Every structure is written in structure tokens, then in C-alpha cells.
């Protein structure tokens, strides 16, 4: 297996990405894994030397172009197709690797994944599945790629999210719920009203109904469905609330001698607390529904976050997430055909 790494994208690139790659390569899960670093060769070599990082086992694919956060996503198809992000996706498409990890521009990575790697047959829209680090890991489908979706997309988001949670977290029969403004099936806007009966009738997901915002943090479901607009807001609001609470906690433990003493008393619990709600522990967000494994790591990733995103890419590859999704999508397409034929037969009778 070969993992392709975008070393140049991200707020803390390239040094933190390089450190993360070197750390990941030392881990047991990297046995049998080869790595290609995409980026400026001289910069990578210089950084490695300065920071005493052993990059002898890495292959380097040289490119000086970087696609940044301010670039138009479509630049990955045109003026910045030779960027580290664009090059990585094209190498993957050309069979020069099995998975790609990047902290780059979300829109560009999503568009590039869809246009260069193509969608799995039967999947009408790919999605970004961020993992919320709550009481239990929760996959948010979609986390921000598509502002507007329809009820068919939502259903397939549920199918893909279930496949992921089963393969990576070992959840036997993932509970899928739709984010809504109430638990009743009559709640929501047009999308939710159309989607509810379809999701409920599906044989391909374990749909348990609507989920409200206050239930999300408490392990009510394993996959939460929504359009990318709501997904972005839920993802960022939980992130912001987590940050607010840590800031408040820090302030408390820094308040005088009592605070410092209390900190020392609770040190191990605080460490567990931090780890439990640390999104970097889960790696990045997989882009699901495309023909290869692509992991979007957070733009602000440090070495640890990037390292965990690499582990996640390897896990996805080993679990065969893309193949599982392809099989589910094919089975669903068959089911749709069968039902259409049945409906035609019935109307002919």
C-alpha cells in the first residue's frame, strides 16, 4: 500500500506535516506501507535536515505550486493543477498510490476528488464525513461539501456513513438519524419532510428517526444526516463550544494557588478529558463516495493530527471502505431497478 501525503497544504505546513509523516512511518500500522511526499523537494530536504527528521524511506514528488485557502476550489482543475493537492489527486487517479491525505482547501479537495477520481457508481454526490469527538464518535454527513442536497443524497450519505462507522469503529448496526428541529416526522423544511419516509423505508440503513441538537453530544446516533450548510454550522458550533469550555477551564485552573493545586489533583482526569474531546485523535474527515481513499485533515492540523489522519487513511484502505461503499451502492441501484420494474408491472396489470 502506498499513501500519498500533501506536505505543502495547511496553516502549519510544511514542517508539521513532515513531522507527522515521519512519526506515522515509525508506527506499527505503517508496516507494509510506503509513502510519497508531494511538495517542494528542496524545502522538504532542508526542513528534514534542520529538524533532524529521517526521511530516507520516503519517496518525494517535486512540485513548487501550492493551492491555498484563498484559491478558488476549481483552481485544482486549471491554474493550480500542478499544486501539491492537485498532483496528489492525479497520482492517486493514475494508480501511483492508494490513498491521499491533505490539510488543503476543502472545496478544492472535494471538487478535485469528484472530478479527478470520480464518484463510485450509484453515488450521486460525495460527502465529507467529519467525526465529532463527543460522548461517542459521531459522523456528520455531510459536514460542509454540499450546501444543497436532496432526499436521495441524504439516504446515500446514511449508507456511506454506516459503512464507515462499521468498518472503522466496529459499530455493528450504526444508528442513523436526521438532524431536525424536532423529533416528530412532521418537523423540518421541505428536505426533511421528503427524506423522512424514504429513510424510514430503507433496507440499507438503520434509521432511528430525527435527532435534535441537544441530543447530538450524548451518543444518540452514530451517523447524523444533514445538508452541508447545517453540517458546517453544527461542526463549527460544537468545535467552538468545546474551545470555549477549555478556555474557561484553563482560566479556572490558573486562578491562584487554589487553581494550581486543583489542577495537580485532577491532572490525569483532565488529560483524559482533553483526549476524549480532542478532534485530532480521530484524524481527519474522509471524503466518501469517491473511488479512492481521500482524507481531509483540518487546515490547522499539527503533526499529531496529521499523523492520525495518516493512520485513518491506512485503516480505511485496510478495511476496504471504498469497496464496501461500492457494493452497497450497487445493491441499492439493483433494489431501485427492481422496485421500478415492480411498479411498472403493477401498473401494467
> Which residues make up the interface to its own copies (CB under 8 A)?
134-135, 144, 147-148, 179, 181-182, 188-189, 212-218, 228-230, 232-245, 248-249, 252-253, 255, 258-259, 261-263, 265-266, 269-270, 273, 276-277
Report, in Å, the least distance between residue 189 CB and its own copies: 5
Rounded to whole angstroms, the Cα distance separating 202 from 206 reads 8
**Bridge pairing between strands 175-179 and 206-211:** parallel
Report, in Å, the least distance between residue 276 CB and its own copies: 8
Rounded to whole angstroms, the Cα distance separating 334 from 68 reads 41
CA atoms within 13 A on the CB side of 22: 19
Which of 126/234 has CB closer to its own copies? Answer: 234
Report, in Å, the least distance between residue 95 CB and its own copies: 35
Report, in Å, the least distance between residue 309 CB and its own copies: 20
Which of 300/344 has CB closer to its own copies? Answer: 300
Q: Which helix (H) or strand (E) is 37 found in, with range?
A: strand 34-39
Report, in Å, the least distance between residue 241 CB and its own copies: 4
Report, in Å, the least distance between residue 227 CB and its own copies: 8
Distance of CA 305 to the CA centre of its chain: 12
Which of 263, 245, 243, 246 is closest to 254 using CA atoms? 263
Which of 192/206 has CB closer to its own copies? Answer: 192
Contact call for residues 77 and 42 (beta carbons, < 8 A): no
Which of 269/347 has CB closer to its own copies? Answer: 269
Cell triple for 42: 528542496
Which of 200/265 has CB closer to its own copies? Answer: 265
Which of 113/146 has CB closer to its own copies? Answer: 146
Contact call for residues 103 and 285 (beta carbons, < 8 A): no
Give residues with Cβ within 8 angstroms of 148, minimum separation 6. 227, 229
Assess whether the previous peptide bond of 142 is cis (omega < 30° from 0). Answer: yes
Which of 173/241 has CB closer to its own copies? Answer: 241
Report, in Å, the least distance between residue 121 CB and its own copies: 29
To the nearest 10 degrees (0 to 180), the angle between helices 151-169 and 303-319 is 100
Cα end-to-end span (Å), the chain: 54
Rounded to whole angstroms, the Cα distance separating 186 from 70 reads 41
Amino acid at each position: 500500500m502506498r499513501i500519498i501525503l500533501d506536505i505543502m497544504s495547511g496553516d502549519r505546513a510544511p514542517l508539521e506535516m513532515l513531522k507527522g509523516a515521519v512519526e506515522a512511518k515509525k508506527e506499527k500500522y505503517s508496516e507494509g506501507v510506503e509513502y510519497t511526499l508531494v511538495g517542494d523537494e528542496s524545502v522538504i530536504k532542508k526542513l528534514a535536515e534542520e529538524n533532524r527528521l529521517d526521511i530516507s524511506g520516503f519517496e518525494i514528488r517535486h512540485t513548487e505550486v501550492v493551492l491555498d485557502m484563498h484559491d478558488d476550489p476549481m483552481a485544482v482543475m486549471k491554474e493550480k493543477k500542478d499544486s501539491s493537492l492537485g498532483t496528489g489527486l492525479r497520482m492517486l487517479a493514475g494508480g501511483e498510490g492508494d490513498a491521499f491525505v491533505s490539510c488543503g482547501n476543502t472545496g478544492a479537495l472535494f471538487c478535485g476528488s469528484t472530478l479527478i477520481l470520480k464518484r463510485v457508481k450509484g453515488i450521486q454526490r460525495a460527502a465529507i464525513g467529519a467525526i465529532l469527538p463527543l460522548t461517542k464518535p459521531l459522523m456528520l454527513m455531510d459536514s460542509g461539501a454540499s450546501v444543497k442536497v436532496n432526499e436521495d443524497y441524504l439516504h446515500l450519505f446514511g449508507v456511506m456513513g454506516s459503512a464507515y462507522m462499521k468498518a472503522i469503529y466496529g459499530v455493528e448496526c450504526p444508528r442513523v438519524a436526521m438532524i431536525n428541529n424536532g423529533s416528530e416526522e412532521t418537523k423540518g423544511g421541505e428536505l426533511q419532510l421528503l427524506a423522512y419516509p424514504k429513510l424510514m423505508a430503507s433496507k440499507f440503513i438503520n434509521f432511528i428517526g430525527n435527532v435534535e441538537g441537544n441530543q447530538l453530544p450524548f451518543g444518540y446516533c452514530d451517523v447524523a444526516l444533514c445538508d452541508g450548510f447545517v453540517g458546517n454550522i453544527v461542526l463549527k458550533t460544537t468545535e467552538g463550544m468545546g474551545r470555549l469550555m477549555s478556555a474557561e477551564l484553563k482560566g479556572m485552573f490558573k486562578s491562584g494557588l487554589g487553581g494550581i493545586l486543583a489542577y495537580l489533583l485532577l491532572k490525569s482526569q483532565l488529560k483524559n478529558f482533553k483526549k476524549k474531546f480532542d478532534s485530532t485523535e480521530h484524524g481527519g474527515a474522509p471524503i466518501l463516495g469517491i473511488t479512492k481513499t481521500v482524507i481531509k485533515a483540518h487546515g490547522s492540523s499539527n503533526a499529531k493530527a496529521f499523523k492520525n489522519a495518516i493512520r485513518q487513511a491506512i485503516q480505511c484502505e485496510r478495511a476496504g471502505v471504498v469497496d464496501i461503499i461500492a457494493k452497497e451502492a450497487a445493491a441499492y441501484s439493483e433494489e431501485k431497478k427492481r422496485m421500478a420494474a415492480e411498479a411498472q408491472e403493477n401498473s401494467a396489470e
